[in-house]
Structure 1
């Protein structure tokens, strides 16, 4: 008879690999766009190996493409702003990773949107830990491989957005998010954060809309809006009616 923990572990591995495949495909876009923005193949690959956070990498090359070397300070600032969210991920994932500085040091490089999302989508502690490591390591390997491929084949591929690769990561996130939208509070947080980010994106530098939208979730969670039980009627309390 199959034990439930084994079923959860297999589900965590499947989700991690599926998300890794979708995210890695998006790495082709980054490699091609990075070379088009002025980086050479070596610089593009080092950026993926060292920075390894897709949002920050795209913000960096986006600003560099518009201003060249003179835009380097703004590019670094934009990438750093988007990377701030990983600090919050690290605090949330700390109990999942467990004690021991070598393990935490290794986990820090793999603490990204996707590994955090897959991990928190699981229910058992073992499945959460497994989901984190499988997703993080698989994406690191796949992302760097496709970055190199995109950088080498950028001229041949043309605009990578024409293949829909820019939507692959978003689709994977939506697949993970959808099962969690079971309460009014979760739906309200997701909708409000999306509206805030969409409205602010044309007006603020990359990174800021994401951080401001995250404050919506913090505020709702802190005050537990829409999550409070309805107050009891005074007559019901007097009669002892539940």
Structure 2
């Protein structure tokens, strides 16, 4: 995994911003720093006009994090999991109950609310994992591979719901290896490799500015090469 190297990045409010790169390029390191999970050894950043160094507690209240690994308790039901995570964000009482029911319904999981997570398919777990990170209505959501390993129906449900959140003002910062998905989903993209940003722009702008590129995958290969990036 590469450390970040002299990286400057601006993400505007209301964007669906894709952070793309090969394995080990620095994507997870960058998101971990922005979420407060890893402390930068140098440099600084602001979120919603607040410097993280002086406003970490305030910032953590306005962001949501949806990790690639399931952050769920398998022996608890979907409802129990969401009540637990919602309470961690300060939700309680009827507001929490209503929010859980609303989001389960929107993502097609209400009828499974009282089933244990260990009985769920991969796509169902992905949808619950998403709900757990957005119950508190964050202004900014960080998503690490939110559709990896799911069926087409679950992927569509997740992407449609994220678009719904974005249309209602939520900024989305997203990583994925599904380049065709990123091309359709993101309003702006940065391609990272070796801890540096190699290119940034709209998907269509990156494609049109790259010689012989027909899609975002062509741009990605042009910038990062064809060498295998196996990562242990």
Fold match, TM over 0.5?
no
TM-score (structure 2 length as normaliser): 0.24
Structure index of larger Rg: 1
As a proportion of its length, which structure holds more helix? 1
TM-score, normalised by the number of residues in structure 1: 0.24
